[in-house]
Amino acid sequence: MTHPELSVYLTTYTDGPHHDWPATLALATAMDEAGVDRVVVSDHVAFGEDFAAYGDPSRGGTAGGRQPTGPDGAWLEPIAVLTAIAAATTRLRLGTSILLAALRRPAVLAKQLATLDVISGGRLDVGVGVGWQREEYDACGLPFEGRGRLLDHTLEVCTTLWTQQRASYDADELTFEGIHQMPKPVQPGGVPLWISGTVNKAVARRLARFGHGWIPWGPDLADLRGSIPAMQQAVLDAGGDPSGMQVQGTVRVVRSDGRIDYDATAAAVPDLVEAGVTDFRVAVPLPAERERAVEVLTHLVDAFRAVTR
């Protein structure tokens, strides 16, 4: 059984006119020092001006959700950010939640991710999803309606180039033969892929084919006791083996008298472990000063370890 892991989101976007990005990246080194298992960053390539889809599940959003910046919010590119973090840390795993992989040319993305896995010593995890914003696909010259197939195509090319010394690929979107791309990722079988989505046949097929782990979305994240066995069955029905499937859950920060109550924050973890969650992701507000951030994160890690040993 996989030992439960603690992942912390690093906010790499801002709606303000000025931001101290080196201080933001220094927070990742604080995570490394404090014993956090994984840092996780998000992705947007571009924005349109209509954010209604963010809160519309029928268009890929989350009910009640609100996009955290306006259209001119500054969002750092996640692969570049994780590369900088890789160079400044030694043990912290590096993750995306989620990378809009279909917006990148597949062979170039395969090279970028393999390179990052190599220079980090095999510390990369890539969470992928289709996203909610039509305008982002428009800006990249890609069809929003076909985004599910585009994502599958992207993952097909990446896994082919990661696992075949003399790679060949044949699909409607792209054909190549005798292609060599080195170095391969350090991790056997390529970079672990985490698939975002709800319990449905398309996501289950994607998990069965490519998935190391599942990032539940919307109502399925709110009902993990019901959704995890449902997704395991859906993956089995799709011809996959769900027995080793990792699952992301969310830890909500609990405050008491204006301060983080670390024990109360960790109290929900054992029930989620029993439900099948293996990766616990938390968005914890961190002080700008690195030393204070190390203190906050150390308390969080200690509380988490106390309930998962």
Concatenate the DSSP letters of all residues of 31-98 into one string: HHHHT-SEEEE---S---S--GGGG-GGGT--TT---SS-TT-EE--HHHHHHHHHHH-SS-EEEEEE
Tell me, what's the pLDDT at 279? 98
Q: Tens digit of pLDDT for each residue in 266-278?
A: 999 999 999 999 9
**What is the C-alpha to C-alpha distance for residues 118 and 115, in angstroms, rounded to an integer?**
5
pLDDT above 80 (res 98): yes
Residues of the chain with pLDDT > 90, as a percent, come to 90
Beta bridge partners of 246: 213
Tell me, what's the pLDDT at 259? 94
State the average pLDDT over residues 112-133: 97
Give 63's pLDDT tier (boundaries 50, 70, 90). Answer: confident
Tell me, what's the pLDDT at 64? 80
Judged by DSSP in three states, 117 sits in: helix
Output DSSP code: residue 24: H
pLDDT above 70 (res 69): yes
Tell me, what's the pLDDT at 138? 97
pTM, full prediction: 0.94
CATH of 5-308, one of 3.20.20.30, 3.30.70.20, 3.40.50.300, 3.90.1570.10: 3.20.20.30
Kindly give, in sequence order, each residue whose CB lies less than 8 Å from that of residue 197, ignoring residues fewer than 6 positions away. Answer: 129, 130, 203, 206, 214, 215, 217
CB 212 within 8 A of CB 246: yes
Kindly give, in sequence order, each residue whose CB lies less than 8 Å from that of residue 272, ignoring residues fewer than 6 positions away. Answer: 224, 249, 280
State the average pLDDT over residues 279-295: 95
Give 61's pLDDT tier (boundaries 50, 70, 90). Answer: confident
- Mean pLDDT, the chain, as a whole number? 95
**What is the C-alpha to C-alpha distance for residues 309 and 306, in angstroms, rounded to an integer?**
6
State the average pLDDT over residues 70-96: 97
**What is the C-alpha to C-alpha distance for residues 210 and 3, in angstroms, rounded to an integer?**
22
Tell me, what's the pLDDT at 1? 55
